[in-house]
Amino acid sequence: MGNQQTIKNPVVKLENVSKFYGQGNLLVKALDKINLEVNKGDYLAVMGASGSGKSTAMNILGCLDRPTHGSYLLNGLQVEELNDDALADLRNQELGFVFQQFHLLQDATALENVLLPMIYAGIPQSAREELAKQALEKVGLMERMQNYPNQLSGGQQQRVAIARAIINQPSLLLADEPTGALDSSTTEDVLNLFDELHKQGITLVLVTHEDEVAKRAQKVAKFKDGKIIEIS
């Protein structure tokens, strides 16, 4: 019993994960036997050139794709064995996504955009609005909750997207080039928000090609030719 406190419970555990496309002479090894652990509360940046495998890895982490070989445990659940419906449920309940393009519904207010994942998660209507307001408050946008995306700056739209991503209290927040469409000042604001979320205990994996962005993370995993060549 005394050893239990020292046992790590990884949110993410990839073991010998490979992803192949094509066959024969046209076989492409997008990922080649990678191993990765992300523990609760970690903040990991993922870097690599185009074609290094980092986007494929993110798609697998986000349950948007399946490995060809190997094992993916998400909170102890064997992901590659799940059917499509179970994967969709897992994405909604355990994962939050933030993208370079904000993917907001243009005809929905900021509040309505943030509400959306809770509808799919079956959270009662009576609770949804209050939770959405709390999430918008957390990202500093309470006063803009009735605005539509075209009435918001790029940074404000990304904050709405982050509020939507954290609304179901995901085990893992995945951010794919989240500052790629933002200017340097707005980038700083969004990165400060990620820092704050990390301090609150959110487990965060962020893909970036910018050293300045990666420096904000606790650890950096560098990909090359489908392999992780360094974790520092």
Place of tokens 């890895």: 57
| 170-185 per-position pLDDT tens digit | 999 999 999 988 988 8
CA nearest neighbour of 72 among 38, 121, 111: 38
**pLDDT tens by residue, 180-203:** 889 888 999 999 999 999 999 999
Question: How many CA atoms are closer than 13 Å to the CA of 222, on its beta-carbon side?
Answer: 7
The pLDDT mean for the chain works out to: 91
**Tens of pLDDT, residues 135-147:** 999 999 999 999 9
Measured CA to CA in angstroms, residue 178 lies from 37, 148, 166, 214 at distances of 22, 20, 14, 12
User: Bridge partners of 14?
Assistant: 36, 72
Q: What confidence score (pLDDT) does residue 3 get?
A: 46
Confidence of residue 1 (pLDDT cuts 50, 70, 90): very low
Q: How far apart are CA 23 and CA 73, in angstroms?
A: 27
Q: Identify the residue with better confidence: 97 or 125.
A: 97
Q: List the alpha helices (DSSP H) in 141-215.
A: 154-166, 184-199, 211-214
pLDDT tens-digit readout, 34-88: 999 999 999 999 999 988 999 999 999 999 999 999 999 999 899 988 999 999 8
What the chain holds in terms of domains, given with CATH numbers, is 10-106+154-231 (3.40.50.300)
Q: Tell whether the torsion through CA atoms of 183, 187, 190 and 192 is positive or negative.
A: negative
Q: Each residue of 83-114: pLDDT tens digit?
A: 999 998 899 889 999 998 899 999 999 999 99
Q: By 3-state DSSP, what share of the chain in percent is helix, strand and coil, each rounded to 5?
A: 40, 25, 35
Do the beta carbons of residue 54 and residue 44 sit within 8 Å?
no
Continuous segment of H or E residues that includes residue 90: helix 84-94
Asked if 65 and 56 touch (Cβ cutoff 8 Å), the reply is yes
